[in-house]
Amino acid sequence: MIETQNVYKSFGENEVLKDITAQFKPGKNNLIIGTSGSGKTTLLKCIVGLHEPTKGDVLYDGQNFTDMHFKERVHIRKEIGMLFQNSALFDSMNVEQNIMFPLNLFTDMSHSEKLDRANFCLEKVNLAGKNKLFPSELSGGMKKRVGIARAISMQPKYLFVDEPNSGLDPVTSILIDHLIADITQEYNTTTVVVTHDMNSVMGIGDHIIFLYNGQKWWEGTNKQIAHTDNKELNDFVFASSFMKAAREKL
């Protein structure tokens, strides 16, 4: 389980996160939602250690990650997998090398074992046989799936996903959502997804945190979100006339 305790983050005078306390449980798809600029990605970056919180703590299974030095963090980082908004695949490496990269650095597996693991991960994301393609030869959806394959190559305990659906068509978006949900269930990972895609919210949102102006404004499940009377959340979720009409039919 991951916990954030009274996390604040400021960039100069600009306070982006204010007193965020939350728990992200294993085996659940934990979604952080909110409008652009509400602090979703900043919170995610504070949790994974790419940003240091100005105040407050981040705990991984009770261990205070914020207080740790670089070397102490490495053993937790080996258990983290992350899919970035733009996939962040290494341009100079092909698909197979991208997936095998963390295995090369942090395991003593033989080459054939690493290759087997890479092929297994590629099959998992329905990209079997695409080993030798370079990131420049992949579509946006394929890049995301390779990013997921790389993220799960080390069998992570914690999976972080930043805007998995950005720039993707609805069919591919749903495919990626299902992939994330399947991995969470199968490996019992603590999955944290930052999104503003309502299909993801309704489809896989086991636990949802709504950020508004850098504060935790609402917390619940995808079943509760349709019936909430929280004005700001309703304005966000039911922003389009299509969603408003859908809500009236609920």
Partner 1 sequence: MFHVLGRYLLLMRLSFRKPEKFSVYWAEVMREMVSQGVGSLGIIAIISVFIGAVATVQVAFQLSSPLVPQSIAGSISRDSTILEFSPTISALVLAGRIGSSIASQIGTMRVTEQIDALEIMGVNTPGYLISPKILSGISMIPLLTIISVVLGLGGGYLACVLSRDIAPSDYIVGLRDSFKPVIVTVCAVKSLAFGFIITSVCSYFGFYTKGGALEVGQSATKGVVFSCIWILFADLIITSTIL
* Residues in touch with partner 1 (CB under 8 A): 48-50, 70, 73-75, 77-78, 80, 82, 84-86, 88-91, 101-102, 104-106, 154, 160
Q: Which of 141, 128, 93, 66 is nearest to 104 (CA)?
A: 93
The CB-of-246 to partner 1 minimum distance in angstroms stands at 34
Q: Given the complex with partner 1, which of 132 and 223 has the nearer CB atom?
A: 132
The CB-of-25 to partner 1 minimum distance in angstroms stands at 21
Q: Are 122 and 97 in contact (CB under 8 A)?
A: no
* CB < 8 Å & 24+ apart, contacts of 134-137: 134/91, 134/93, 134/94, 134/95, 135/87, 135/89, 135/90, 135/91, 135/95, 135/98, 136/91
In terms of DSSP bridges, do strands 207-212 and 215-220 run parallel, antiparallel, or are they unpaired? antiparallel
Q: Given the complex with partner 1, which of 82 and 201 has the nearer CB atom?
A: 82
The CB-of-76 to partner 1 minimum distance in angstroms stands at 8
Cβ neighbour number for residue 212 with a 10 Å cutoff: 18
Q: Given the complex with partner 1, which of 164 and 205 has the nearer CB atom?
A: 164
The CB-of-199 to partner 1 minimum distance in angstroms stands at 24
Handedness of CA 156, 70, 32, 163 (dihedral sign): negative
Q: Given the complex with partner 1, which of 137 and 219 has the nearer CB atom?
A: 137
- Who contacts 241 (Cβ-Cβ below 8 Å, separation ≥6)? none
In terms of DSSP bridges, do strands 29-34 and 190-194 run parallel, antiparallel, or are they unpaired? parallel
The CB-of-55 to partner 1 minimum distance in angstroms stands at 22
Q: Given the complex with partner 1, which of 95 and 154 has the nearer CB atom?
A: 154
